[in-house]
Structures are given as structure tokens and as C-alpha cells.
């Protein structure tokens, strides 16, 4: 038995619930309890799925350059030299 409850304890608990709520309310209480448990399971599984999908984010694939395209290297300019204009570069 769950929670180590013996059948005698369960019968006493059921009798107390029956006295407090009456036989007419027991089906409503059972249905409400079932809906609550169902909703709890749905929310907990949604949260579990979200956490699993957040942990398993695929890494971006590296870019592969083809042999026909040369890689462009950045031009480094010295701070002491002013940058030349196109006209100065041609002369």
C-alpha cells in the first residue's frame, strides 16, 4: 500500500470523508481530484519537455569554405600612418 497505510486505516479514512461530505458529494470530489491530478501531470510533463529541449540545443555547424573561394584576410592599418586615398594608392 502507498504511504504504508493498512486497509483498516483506509476504511476509517473513507468513513470520515463520507461523514463529512456525504454520499452525494463523493463523485464530485473524486472527479475534481482526478482532474487536478491530470492537470498536474500535464504541466509537469510540459515543464520536463521544455527543460529537455533547452538542454539539447544543437550547436551551430561550422561554415565550410570551398577551394575556389579564397579567404579574405582583414587589412591591418598602422595607427601612425594615415590611410591613403585611392588616388594616392595609384601613384
The ranges assigned to domains in the chain are 24-56
Digit-coded pLDDT (tens) for 13-25? 889 988 998 888 8
Give the DSSP per-residue string, 9-37.
Answer: HHHHHHHHHHHHH-TTTHHHHHHHHHHHH
pLDDT reported for residue 63: 72
pLDDT reported for residue 1: 45
Digit-coded pLDDT (tens) for 23-72? 888 889 889 999 999 999 999 999 999 988 888 766 667 776 666 655 56
Digit-coded pLDDT (tens) for 66-76? 666 555 666 65
pLDDT reported for residue 86: 66
Amino acid at each position: 500500500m502507498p504511504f504504508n497505510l493498512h486497509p483498516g486505516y483506509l476504511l476509517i479514512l473513507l468513513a470520515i470523508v463520507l461523514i463529512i461530505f456525504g454520499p452525494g458529494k463523493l463523485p464530485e470530489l473524486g472527479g475534481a481530484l482526478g482532474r487536478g491530478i491530470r492537470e498536474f501531470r500535464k504541466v509537469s510533463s510540459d515543464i520536463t519537455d521544455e527543460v529537455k529541449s533547452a538542454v539539447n540545443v544543437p550547436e551551430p555547424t561550422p561554415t565550410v569554405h570551398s577551394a575556389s573561394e579564397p579567404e579574405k584576410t582583414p587589412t591591418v592599418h598602422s595607427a601612425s600612418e594615415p590611410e591613403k586615398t585611392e588616388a594616392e594608392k595609384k601613384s
